[in-house]
Amino acid sequence: MNESELTALWRIALSDLSEPDLVWQLLAVGCCLLLAYLGEQLLSRRQAGAGLWELGRGGLLRVAFPMLGLLFVTATRSLVEPWMHIGLFSLAIPLLSSLAVIRMVFYVLRFSFVGAKWLASSERIFAMLVWGVVALHITGFLPEVIHLLESVSFNVGVQKLTLWRVLQGLVLVMVTVLLAMWLGSVIEARLNSTVGLDRNLRLVFGRLAKALLLVLAVLIVLPLVGIDLTTLSVFGGALGVGLGFGLQKIASNYVSGFIILLDNSIRIGNMITVGGDRGEVIRITTRYTVVKNRTGIEALVPNEMLVSSVVLNETHSDPQVRVALPVQVSYDSDLDRAMAVMVEAALAQPRVLKDTVPVVLLKEFADSGINLEMRFWVSDPEQGLGRLRSAINLAIWRGFKLEGVSIPFPQREVRILKDAEND
């Protein structure tokens, strides 16, 4: 429909306000919308699928209410046209049609921006805002609203701004930011598919591309709507002061994140120990690094801590690590045979490297027995060492049982001395 047709529809709807059958029109349109809502609820209760069916189902749910409402309103208008005015019905049709189109567009945008969780959570809000503007245009109230917004003005420095200009700037910035994020996602996808490029460099280049595109989008759009960028200098100065005092830790974490990604000191998949946390690096962001331990708990380590403190990286340049396994035997045991049993138990495990033969050392002569320590190497510490230690200890225990090697336990001998005068 063109603008003249929409204006004619609105005038017809306004003329129906003075008609006695207005209440019946409102009831009929309300019943159509209620049926559309019930139909949407019925569709949403169906079992969710997966893959393309889930994508299609999500799109169907987005347009179920306006499309069902459009169907019911169109059918009802054809039935009641001989007996009552249909101005409200004719106005409801473009409103419902525009709502369906806008909802579907934002649903498609949601899947176009991979990883944009904020868009998924705010999809309906953005769709309703856009539809609100379209509805104002259809009903003819948009010029009056624009005039009202232009009448509200304020000064920013030497420049005079109106509320309408600010809203125009926000909308254009939002559109260009969405385009910049989409283009950044395309660049990031291309980088991820590049063969021979380090994974950390892919992350750095992808995030730098997104950041530069966002800055360029804002710098290009604001002058287009008549907002002088020099008026934002005061906000830039305030932001600089805030970074210098209250946000210095956050800024330091962001800078440290780029340093980690650029120097390849820590990579995704590395097994690291920082502070009291040991686990596998599963994600590196510009502010923090996610370290997942063997219990499934994820520690969010600030990037500044990874740069300024000592980090034990077990798989930085060489994935092979040495594991120490302490065992204590009694003094009357055959040490040579006990050491042989320990070596055999370690070599029986497939994860223990065979090219570096395990070694058993006599550490010390303790109070209750002789302390031995077996050292062996593994090349996959990210798989965990708890089960491996348990399996070797169990094999050692069984071997000691067969060879007659005993593991001592703490013993204390108490002697009671009688007093010489009472003898």
Q: Is the pLDDT of residue 398 over 80?
A: yes
Q: Are 53 and 133 in a shared domain?
A: yes
Q: How many domains does the chain have?
A: 3
Note the pLDDT of residue 53.
44
- pLDDT higher for 114 or 406? 406
| 321-329: strand order across its sheet | 321-329, 370-378, 359-365
* Averaged pLDDT of the chain: 75
Q: Which residue has the higher pLDDT, 256 or 233?
A: 256
Residue 413 has pLDDT above 80, yes or no: no
Domain boundary (84, 105, 140) is at 140
pLDDT at 217: 74
Average confidence (pLDDT) over 382-397: 89
Collapse the DSSP code of 112 into the 3-class scheme (helix H, G, I; strand E, B; otherwise coil) and give the result: helix
- Tell whether the model's pLDDT for residue 304 goes beyond 70: yes
Residue 156: pLDDT band (50, 70, 90) is low
Q: How confident is the model at residue 39 (pLDDT cuts 50, 70, 90)?
A: confident
Task: Work out the number of other CB atoms within 10 angstroms of the CB of residue 415.
Answer: 4
112 and 35 in a single domain? The answer is: yes
The predicted pLDDT at position 349 comes to 92
**What's the CA gap between 13 and 11, in Å, rounded?**
5
Does 165 map to a domain?
no
**Stretch 197-212: mean pLDDT:** 69
User: What CATH number corresponds to the domain at position 261?
Assistant: 2.30.30.60
- Dihedral of CA atoms 272, 274, 279, 284 in degrees, nearest 10, equals -80
Question: Does some domain include residue 46?
Answer: yes
Judge whether residue 40 has pLDDT over 70.
yes
| Diameter of the chain measured on Cα atoms | 131
> Which residue segment(s) compose the domain that 391 sits in?
321-403
pLDDT of amino acid 289: 87
Supply the pLDDT for residue 50. Answer: 45
Residue 351 shares a structural domain with residue 292: no
356 pLDDT band, cuts 50/70/90, is confident
Residues 42 and 102 in one domain: yes
